[in-house]
């Protein structure tokens, strides 16, 4: 529509890197979210084990309460 092929190449080349950078940002955020989720799950598991160990050492029989 009035643009030459060289102008079209310039426009296509200038738009592609922007899309790539957003893709890398999205992948980076997804990886960060996965790591944060794994760390929260690990902390909950460790806290649960510590709490149960504390209850056993203190002599509290927690199975009878149910």
Q: Flag whether 26 is in a domain.
A: no
- The predicted structure's pLDDT at residue 66: 45
21: in domain: no
Per-residue pLDDT in tens (0 to 9) along the chain, 66 residues: 555 656 556 655 655 555 568 899 999 999 999 999 999 999 999 999 999 888 888 887 656 554
What's the pLDDT at 7? 58
Domain span at residue 48? 34-66
Query: Per the domain annotation, does 61 fall within a domain?
Result: yes
With tokens 């460790």, the residue in question is 46
Residue 64, domain member (yes or no): yes
Q: How many domains does the chain divide into?
A: 1
Between CA 15 and CA 11 the distance in angstroms is 6
| The pLDDT value given to residue 49 | 93
Task: Tell me, yes or no, whether 62 lies in a domain.
Answer: yes
In-domain check, residue 38: yes
Residue 29: predicted pLDDT? 96
């Amino acid at each position: 529509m009035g643009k030459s092929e060289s102008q079209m190449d310039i426009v296509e080349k200038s738009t592609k890197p922007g899309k790539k950078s957003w893709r890398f940002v999205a992948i980076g955020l997804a990886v960060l979210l996965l790591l944060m989720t794994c760390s929260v799950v690990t902390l909950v598991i460790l806290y649960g084990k510590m709490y149960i160990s504390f209850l056993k050492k203190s002599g509290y029989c927690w199975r009878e309460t149910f």
